[in-house]
A and B are shown apart, each in its own frame.
Chain A
Amino acid sequence: MFRRLPEVAGDAIPFTIDGRPASARAGDSVAAALLANGVTTCRNTPVSGAPRGPYCMMGVCFDCLVTIDGTGNRQGCQVRVAPGMAVETQDGKREVER
């Protein structure tokens, strides 16, 4: 669980997590925005189905994989949130169509 420091200003960026409305700030990566919105689990692994969340926040661990605007297995910590972005958590293996 993470909270925003009170001094953080700036406009809210609306986006969705699994279809639900959510809010990010300029400069947030998708992974940061998930944590800021109380979402610590972003996927279940393709190997055992175990839940995972962001771990390294610098693009090396590949644990924060999510589906962004219909494309699966994107590294949430390496993509900045954009207004209207549709972020989806993942269950197991990626589908080839998305």
Chain B
Amino acid sequence: MTQPNRGGEYDVAIVGGGLVGSALAWGLARSGQRVVVLDEGDIAVRPSRGNFALVWVQGKGLGMPEYAGWTKQSSDDWAGFAGLLRDQTGIDVAFRRPGGFMPALSEEDLQARANAMMRLHNQPDMIRYPYEVMDRETLRRELPVIGPEVVGGTYCPLDGHCNSLRLLRTLHTGIGLLGVDYRPNHRVERIERRDGGFRLATAGGEIGAGKVVLAAGHDSARLAPMVGLSAPVRPQRGHIIVTEKTAPFLHHPTGYVRQTDEGGVMIGDSFEEAGFDTTLQPGVSSAIAARAIRMFPLLGRLNVVRSWAALRVLTPDGFPIYEQSATAPGAFVVTCHSGVTLAANHALTLAPLIAAGDLGDRFKVFSARRFHVPQAA
């Protein structure tokens, strides 16, 4: 399966060792490719260390039905993916798909959610999946710990979650076992096309590869133009709070609150345009805490042990970019803000296509060319 190695010592150089990069590396190595992963050091903008760990389908894809289908496919493939990882590494990434809820705190909010789900499913070419709009009593049978302000909610049986930090570690363990060369402290400075392949100038020396995959999150914006691609991504800050370990009491993930397999309760999140500043804002944390307590009043007694702000990697429309360069074939860009949900797709579906060198027609809709609209008509 290995293609002629024209660029140097590797078939593929992946820029970025987060969830997207390591899932692709795992998939590419399984496809027989010789892979190097070039990563930054211990301190880096690294959303993969700060995400909320949902494997989520509900509500995604309004405006791009293909994204809903792509998301559902990953959700469907996730259990198998987790099984492959467990078989390979012995590590359980704690994927569970018990169905997820979006509790609503007002009738208006519930109506807005119901309408959004309806509009989503009314799109042409939209895949079908089950969901329910629940009134308070129905919801309370499933989630007995909701507070008096919760009026109802939406439910989708496809929603789940995992232990995303363990997923990152497991992917790194897995790529190690597959012979992938992982190189931290190798920030990529420049990429040049040479001899039918690519030369990457990094903080740790020059690397050659036949293909290059940009999975560098925010840094892909800088790197993409070097290989005739574009990745117009911006950081959007989100605060997350975690409580102390607590005996299991919340058996389904919700969009804002979930209990981890280790017992801590993760509470999110916010949407702030603040550049690369990850300083925590007490007022934003407070607003997150207040909403979580309205949904689940029992949470108020728990101690917060950690909180942080991470930076989502967002495109202008919020949907992923998957694209091979037209001017520098062999260079790919992969960027999304759902590296957990889409990990199964990246590892099992996308990586083999990159290995084969052709993404095919299905991914045309995810090209960054959708952002290249004329400025004025």
Residues of A within 8 A of B (CB): 46-47, 71, 73, 92-98
CB–CB A93/B302 < 8 A:
no
Q: CB of B274 within 8 A of chain A?
A: no
Please, could you name 14 A-B residue pairs with CB atoms under 8 Å apart, sorted by A? A73-B303, A92-B247, A93-B246, A93-B263, A94-B244, A94-B247, A95-B246, A95-B247, A95-B249, A96-B246, A96-B247, A96-B249, A96-B299, A98-B301
Nearest-CB distance from A47 to chain B (Å)? Answer: 8
The 8 A-B pairs at the shortest CB distance, nearest first, are namely A46-B245, A93-B247, A96-B249, A93-B245, A93-B263, A96-B298, A95-B247, A96-B246
CB–CB B298/A94 < 8 A:
no
* Chain B interface size, under 10 / 10 to 19 / 20 to 34 / 35 or more: 10 to 19
Please indicate the chain A residues that have their CB under 8 angstroms from the CB of B245 in the complex.
46-47, 93-94
Please indicate the chain B residues that have their CB under 8 angstroms from the CB of A46 in the complex.
245, 263
Among B246, B298, B302, which residue has the most Cβ atoms of chain A within 10 A? B246
What residue in chain A is nearest B263 (Cβ atoms)?
A93
Q: Could you mark each residue 132-154 of chain B with 1 if its beta carbon is under 8 Å from any beta carbon of chain A, else 0?
A: 00000000000001000000000
What residue in chain A is nearest B259 (Cβ atoms)?
A96
Q: Which of B145, B246, B299 contacts A94 (CB 8 A)?
A: B246
Among A93, A95, A96, A97, which residue has the most Cβ atoms of chain B within 10 A? A96
CB–CB B303/A97 < 8 A:
no
Q: Could you mark each residue 245-262 of chain B with 1 if its beta carbon is under 8 Å from any beta carbon of chain A, else 0?
A: 111010000000000000
Complex CA–CA separation, A47 to B302 (angstroms): 18
Complex CA–CA separation, A94 to B262 (angstroms): 12
Nearest-CB distance from B303 to chain A (Å)? Answer: 6
How many residue pairs at the A-B interface have CB separations less than 8 Å? 30
Please indicate the chain B residues that have their CB under 8 angstroms from the CB of A97 in the complex.
298, 301
What residue in chain B is nearest A98 (Cβ atoms)?
B301
Complex CA–CA separation, A47 to B246 (angstroms): 11
Please indicate the chain A residues that have their CB under 8 angstroms from the CB of B247 in the complex.
92-96
Please indicate the chain B residues that have their CB under 8 angstroms from the CB of A94 in the complex.
244-247, 302
CB–CB B263/A96 < 8 A:
no
Please indicate the chain B residues that have their CB under 8 angstroms from the CB of A73 in the complex.
244, 303
Complex CA–CA separation, A97 to B246 (angstroms): 10
Complex CA–CA separation, A47 to B303 (angstroms): 17
Nearest-CB distance from A68 to chain B (Å)? Answer: 13
What residue in chain A is nearest B265 (Cβ atoms)?
A96
Complex CA–CA separation, A53 to B301 (angstroms): 23
Nearest-CB distance from B242 to chain A (Å)? Answer: 14
Q: Which of A47, A92, A93, A96 contacts B301 (CB 8 A)?
A: A96
Using a CB-CB cutoff of 8 Å, which residues 133-191 of chain B contact chain A? Answer: 145
Nearest-CB distance from B322 to chain A (Å)? Answer: 40
What residue in chain B is nearest A72 (Cβ atoms)?
B301
Known: A95-B249, A96-B247, A97-B301. 14 other contacts (CB 8 A): A71-B301, A73-B244, A73-B303, A92-B247, A93-B245, A93-B247, A94-B244, A94-B246, A94-B247, A95-B246, A95-B247, A96-B246, A96-B298, A97-B298
Complex CA–CA separation, A94 to B247 (angstroms): 6
Complex CA–CA separation, A92 to B244 (angstroms): 12
Please indicate the chain B residues that have their CB under 8 angstroms from the CB of A47 in the complex.
245
Please indicate the chain B residues that have their CB under 8 angstroms from the CB of A95 in the complex.
246-247, 249
Complex CA–CA separation, A98 to B247 (angstroms): 11
What residue in chain A is nearest B249 (Cβ atoms)?
A96
Complex CA–CA separation, A96 to B303 (angstroms): 10
Nearest-CB distance from A65 to chain B (Å)? Answer: 9
Nearest-CB distance from A94 to chain B (Å)? Answer: 5
Nearest-CB distance from A91 to chain B (Å)? Answer: 10
Complex CA–CA separation, A93 to B265 (angstroms): 12
Nearest-CB distance from B254 to chain A (Å)? Answer: 15
Complex CA–CA separation, A92 to B302 (angstroms): 15
Complex CA–CA separation, A92 to B246 (angstroms): 9
Complex CA–CA separation, A96 to B299 (angstroms): 7
